[in-house]
Amino acid sequence: MMVRCGACRNQFEVPGAGRFACPVCGSVNVVRESAGTAPPNMGGYPTAPGVAGTPAPPPPPPVTAPLPRIECPECSFSFLVGDIAVATCPNCGAQVRTGLGSPEEE
Ligand SMILES: [Zn+2]
Ligand SMILES: [Zn+2]
């Protein structure tokens, strides 16, 4: 099987699992039975025992929608609001309906 040296990335043939010195740079590479290709560790040190299988990939970060920006009808100050129906203008303190959050009442 072909393995790739973790130090110099040279590929060389090995008969199977074991520890083999790279013919190019001399770094000892640990080859495991299950590892089809190059060992994931770099530098020839085996990974910690007891780690079975491949770890699950981390969940993707939560996608946060950009906050809507509204403009105060009193002072034309533009500011970001959250998911609320009525926001208070940070500039003049006016109560501004955002059209968001709970439905508007007539
Ligand atoms: Zn090497
Ligand atoms: Zn305002």
Confidence of residue 7 (pLDDT cuts 50, 70, 90): very high
Query: Can you give the residue range of the structural domain that contains 100?
Result: 66-106
Based on its alpha-carbon atoms, the radius of gyration of the chain, rounded to whole angstroms, reads 30
Confidence of residue 88 (pLDDT cuts 50, 70, 90): very high
Residues 40 and 3 in one domain: yes
Ligand nearest to the CA of 70: 2
For 21-35, the pLDDT digits (tens) are 999 999 999 998 764
Is 89 inside a domain boundary? yes
Residues 40 and 71 in one domain: no
CA of 13 to the centre of ligand 2 (A): 73
For 47-64, the pLDDT digits (tens) are 666 666 777 888 888 777
In the prediction, which pLDDT does 33 show? Answer: 77
Look at strands 11-13 and 2-4 and give their pairing.
antiparallel
CA of 13 to the centre of ligand 1 (A): 12
Report how many domains make up the chain.
2
Alpha carbon 64 to chain centroid, angstroms:
15
Residues 35 and 72 in one domain: no
CA of 40 to the centre of ligand 1 (A): 14
CA angle (42, 48, 24) in 5-degree steps: 25
